[in-house]
Chain A
Amino acid sequence: MIEQDLKPLEEKSIYVIREAKLKFKNVAALWSMGKDSTTMLALTRKAFLGKIPFPVIHIDNGIDFPETYAFREWLSKKWNFKVIVGRSEIKPDPMGSACCGRNKPETLKKLLEEYGFDALIVSIRRDEHGIRAKERYMSPRDRDFRWDYKNQPAELWDDYASKLDAKEHMRVHPLLDWNEIDVWRYIKREHIPVNPLYFSRNGFRYRSLGCTHCTVALKSNAKNVDDIIRELRTTRQEERSGRSMDKEHEAAMERLRALGYM
């Protein structure tokens, strides 16, 4: 796994987060309590002198891991930020699992209408999945949440698209260039708290976190951040190999993202 210099990555991410706050009227960040979105919150605190100046959204399907809920409450108190919880329903979805699929974007859509957010900071990375590699730092979504990945605005000389039509919103991706190992090296450097599910117990740990239904623990003896970094330097296993939603249908992730999934 390629390890990059953390300083330019951090600078770029902080620049993108500040640009989003400057260019849009009503910004929110999505937080899954995973390592990437928690790192994004740490970067936001760096960008705004220790504060998180916008609300943080958790789309909760009610079956997340108990450790994840405990981490949500603990960190939001410790870092003093507002969490908006959007409860998504468990209902049939031809796209796959009833816990994700269309249900999460539907809940997000309702929250956007209720609060009037025009930009959402999302902590996806290009190295996670082929379809996520097609994203831009600032990527518009239409009023139905659709993503036209074949027709995205160019991003030249750090100049990002910010014009939106009514009821459209912008997805902002400050961690796009980071690799999984960069995130863990940054967590180590900045002493960022992480969900305890990432650490091995009984020889298993979670490498990518979803809910109790779609996430499977993988064999690992990594009991701390140093162990995880060491493990990632040699592993040949994909990061999302423990996530069933990526495997249910051919190109499932591509179709989900086109419909507004995070």
Chain B
Amino acid sequence: MARADIQAIVDALWKDQSEGHWKAFVKALPRSGLKYYKVVYPNGKLQRAQDLRKAYAQLYDSKQRPIVKIPISEKKSGAVVGATYYMKGLLTVNKADEWIS
């Protein structure tokens, strides 16, 4: 899958984290060349649903080059819930210089 195609799916996901957009991402993932992920919570805290909406996952290719950022939340019947389930198949990158604690 071309990078432009996955970028279009991710752009749609950033606009609206609906189940339909997440399913499109899951369908595209195996052919996207994306292999690794790192979840980032910008201020390090997760104390309310708003923090979850700001959090994202940086996705990398097989050579651990950063490719695209995706949200990690889903809008479900008005509520914001976690959505890392849809990232199944990706592996944590564990890059030493990037870990935040």
Partner of B87 from the list A66, A213, A244 (CB cut-off 8 Å) is A66
- Report yes or no: B46 in contact with A90, Cβ–Cβ below 8 A: yes
Count residues of chain A with CB under 8 A from any CB of chain B. 34
Least CB distance from B24 to A in Å reads 17
State how many angstroms separate the Cβ of B4 from the closest Cβ of chain A. Answer: 24
| Chain A positions within 8 Å of B79 at CB level | 89
- Give how many A-B residue pairs fall within 8 Å (CB-CB): 95
Whether the Cβ atoms of A213 and B41 lie closer than 8 Å is yes
How far apart are A247's CB and chain B's nearest CB, in angstroms? 10
Known: A63-B39, A65-B84, A90-B81. A202 touches B95 (CB 8 A): yes
Closest A residue to B93 by CB, please name it.
A202
Interface flag for B9 (CB, 8 Å): no
| CA A64 to CA B88, docked complex, whole Å | 10
- Most chain B C-beta atoms within 10 Å of own C-beta, residue among A63, A97, A196, A211: A63
Interface of A is mostly: loop
Contacts of A66 in B (CB 8 A): 37, 84-85, 87-92
Q: Is A216 close to B, CB under 8 A?
A: yes
Interface size on B, residues (CB 8 A): 32
**Cα distance A62–B39 in the bound complex, in angstroms:** 13
Give Cα distance in the complex from A90 to B81, angstroms: 7
Q: Is the CB of B99 within 8 A of A216?
A: yes
Q: In the complex, which of the residues B46, B85, B88, B90 contacts A213, with contact meaning CB atoms closer than 8 Å?
A: B46
A201-B91 contact given A63-B72, A69-B84, CB 8 Å threshold: yes
Q: How far is the CA of A92 from the CA of B92 in the complex (A)?
A: 27
Contact A212 B47 (CB under 8 A): no
User: Is B96 positioned at the interface, with any CB of A under 8 Å from its CB?
Assistant: yes
Whether B81 pairs with A89 at a CB distance below 8 angstroms is yes
Q: Are the CB atoms of B52 and A90 closer together than 8 Å?
A: yes
Q: Which residues of B contact A67 (CB under 8 A)?
A: 91-92
A84 at interface by CB-CB < 8 Å: no
Contact status of A61 and B94, CB under 8 A, knowing A98-B51, A213-B41: no
Which of B82, B89, B93 contacts A70 (CB under 8 A)? B89
Which of B49, B94, B95 is in CB contact (< 8 Å) with A90?
A: B49
Contact bitstring A164-201, B, C-beta under 8 A = 1, else 0:
00000000000000000000000000000000110001
CA distance A55 to B96 in the complex (A): 39
**B8: Cβ under 8 A from any A Cβ:** no
Contact of A63 among B37, B84, B89, B92 (CB under 8 A): B84
- B101 at interface, CB cutoff 8 A: yes
Considering the chains assembled together, what is the distance between the CA atoms of A69 and B41 in angstroms? 20
Contact A202 B84 (CB under 8 A): no
B82 to chain A, nearest CB (A): 2
With a cutoff of 8 Å between Cβ atoms, the chain B residues found around residue A89 in the complex are 49, 79, 81
Chain A residues within 8 Å of B, Cβ to Cβ = 60-67, 69-70, 73, 87, 89-93, 97-99, 196-197, 201-205, 211-213, 216-217, 219, 244
Supplied contacts A92-B47, A97-B47, 5 more A-B pairs, CB within 8 Å: A60-B85, A61-B82, A63-B84, A89-B79, A212-B39
B binding-site residues for A, Cβ under 8 Å: 37, 39, 41, 46-49, 51-52, 55, 72-74, 79-85, 87-96, 99, 101
Task: Write 19 A-B pairs (CB below 8 A) sorted by A numbering.
Answer: A62-B73, A62-B82, A62-B83, A63-B46, A63-B82, A64-B84, A66-B37, A66-B85, A70-B88, A73-B88, A89-B79, A90-B46, A90-B48, A92-B47, A98-B46, A98-B51, A203-B96, A204-B99, A212-B84
